[in-house]
A and B are shown apart, each in its own frame.
Chain A
Amino acid sequence: MEKFHTLTAVVAPIDRANVDTDAIIPKQFLKSIKRSGFGQYLFDEWRFLDHGEPGMDSSKRQPNPEFVLNQPRYRGAQILVARANFGCGSSREHAPWALQDYGFRVIIAPSFADIFFNNCFKIGLLPIVLDSKILDLIFVEVAMHPGYQLTVDLQNQSVSTPDHKLFEFEIDIFRKHCLLNGLDEIGLTLQHADKIKAFEDKRREQQPWLFA
């Protein structure tokens, strides 16, 4: 996993609540057995006027000029600001893969769906929860200033604006540690292999039917 320390980048807004993972990456792209290449199909049904199928070259398709990510002012955005319950629905990790592959490294919303939130950390995409009032303010700023940027500082757990407003966010210390150091969670867990083994042996004795 890639390390994350600080990031200053252009912000793109998705001004809708309950954005589900089906919208983030539609099902036809889930047929891939690879982990990469989903970025070009991110928000496919909203981003393109023609129907997308896996294998299509998105640079040759018909973009929907109305859709926010197609507006030149948001080109190169690495921070996405969104509304409540972002990432609800299907558990597909393809959704965080697509966001990351497209270029996003941080998503800021008033709330996230549980599974999506969890999946983001596993791949080094940072989901940040800020109060909806603060997001209201950021949405206004983004709309007013083309090229609007935010700075995210993971060590200090803060998001700051160009006019030096600073908003702090919460993050679990384990997740922070993994992100800052780019750690492989499986490797960390396997350091406890003997304890897992001991737990399993005891469980096998107490509830043998689980191991049949």
Chain B
Amino acid sequence: MQTLYDKLWDQHIVPTESTDAGSMSLIYIDRHLVHEVTSPQAFESLKLAGRKPWRLNSILAVADHNVPTTDRSDGIQDPISRLQVDTLDQNCDELGITQFKMNDLRQGIVHVIGPEQGATLPGMTVVCGDSHTSTHGAFGCLAFGIGTSEVEHVLATQCLLIKKSKTMHVVVEGQLGLGVTAKDIALAIIGKIGTAGGTGYAIEFAGSAIRELSMEGRMTLCNMAIEAGARAGMVAVDDTTINYIKGRPFAPQGEMWERAVTYWKTLHSEPEAVFDRTVTLDAAQIKPQVTWGTSPEMVTTIDGTVPDPARVTDEVKRKDMQHALNYMGLKANMPIQQITVDKVFIGSCTNSRIEDLRAAAQVVKNKKIAANIKLAMVVPGSGLVKQQAEQEGLDKIFTKAGFEWREPGCSMCLAMNDDRLNPGERCASTSNRNFEGRQGSGGRTHLVSPAMAAAAAIAGHFVDVRKMNG
């Protein structure tokens, strides 16, 4: 009785009959997504070795990390960023790789555009030189991040030598409360199992609460699998998956569509499949989550308080907590709702899709951001998400409330472009990492859902979005 992961794994093993590979298997890669930061060294080595990409039409490239989110008509100002984006353009042009250039309407964060274009399909192996490749697992595919040497390996051979993971079943049953989202499920899971809890595992998210999620929600959840330490997260294929894919530019059509759908419907774990570990959560018990520290596992609920290191017995843990509180400028036992914020960032591959923007817009509608907010910005995940949002009038709702409405890209998720926190600034962010300096040197990040970020912008501090609407 196979799990979904077992099925995907078996489908992709290239038989090599060699015994010298130890526990590693040669796995065929169907889709290779490429961005500007982790690819230049791979292309260079490939060229130096006199090799060519194995299968060009498996590759889709886009620049997202370095691109400005303000006016792009003059190109990129920072010369080092510009060189990196130009290098990607050159490599793609030279080799004939499909790429969405910076001013293409389809440009956006690599993990947003793959699914949006139908370039991510069920049953695929999807890789990218980026840890949040786990996002694509929402489509019932095996998707995981790789390093630059592996990017080169996939370019040259269409394969990777990897070790099979253990399997973890994360089952979330029941109904989520109003105002509680996939982001809160993800953070609650990480709070429960820790950022290393999923190390060595591929996670399958299941249960009635997961089946109820839209594809956007499932992507948010799988996106955060890596923050739980799991290289891959996935959700079984169902009608929600198939309806999302239908009609997308790279998706099969006509008779081919029917054939594909018949196969895709087999992509789920068998009822009696055995997982190496199972974790269960009750959806009804999950409250809006807010991180207080410098690791996604340092998380609590909106009605909670900053924990007290004095109550922790493990010495390494206590020191880490103390260190995190110092960095975050927080005191033990302080209520989360008393934490005021300076900046608000709605965006990133975790939460920049249309549904995320709708949820945030609903909270800010006819309101204004608080006087203490220095900057509140919305960065759509792609040009197409931006266009859709504008058609729905969301941009107006945001700008009227005092938000800035930007061009698509990674932006302040990692601050490689000009969008960043200054030292000591505190941010309510819908991104996925609250590491030290992640959003700018000395910046302080609190991870929340889009609705919670929007609510913090209006109140000027964290508030329970469930008590705010109406």
Contact = CB atoms under 8 A, between A and B. Distances in A.
Given A31-B66, A186-B156, A209-B121, A113 B252 contact: no
Contacts of A115: 131, 144-147, 231
Contacts of A212: 57, 250, 252, 256
Contacts of A143: none
Q: Is the interface of B mostly helix, strand, loop or mixed?
A: loop
Interface string A83-96: 11100111111101
Contacts of B129: 91, 93
Most B C-beta atoms less than 10 A away, residue of A31, A94, A199: A31
A20 to B, nearest CB: 5
Contacts of B231: 114-115
B129 to A, nearest CB: 6
A141 interface: no
B156 to A, nearest CB: 5
Contact of B14 (A31, A32, A196): A196
Contact of B320 (A17, A32, A94, A172): A17
B425 to A, nearest CB: 14
Contact of A88 (B121, B195, B316): B195
Contacts of A208: 256
A174 B161 contact: yes
Interface in B314-346: 316-317, 319-320, 323
B95 interface: no
Given A91-B129, A207-B263, A185 B161 contact: yes
Interface residues of A, number: 63
A91 B256 contact: no
Interface in B160-183: 161-163
Nearest to B87: A33
Contacts of A118: 146-147, 150, 162
Interface stretch (A21-29, A99-107, A155-163): A21-29
B49 to A, nearest CB: 7
A140 interface: no
Interface string B239-257: 0000000000011100011
Interface in B119-165: 121, 123-124, 129-131, 144-150, 152-153, 156-159, 161-163
Contact of B156 (A23, A30, A190): A190
Interface in A30-87: 30-35, 45, 51, 54-55, 83-85
A23 B14 CA distance: 37
Given A18-B295, A93-B129, A195-B15, 18 more contacts: A22-B433, A31-B80, A33-B44, A34-B41, A85-B195, A90-B433, A91-B130, A91-B131, A93-B148, A96-B147, A115-B231, A119-B147, A189-B26, A195-B16, A196-B26, A196-B157, A200-B158, A209-B251
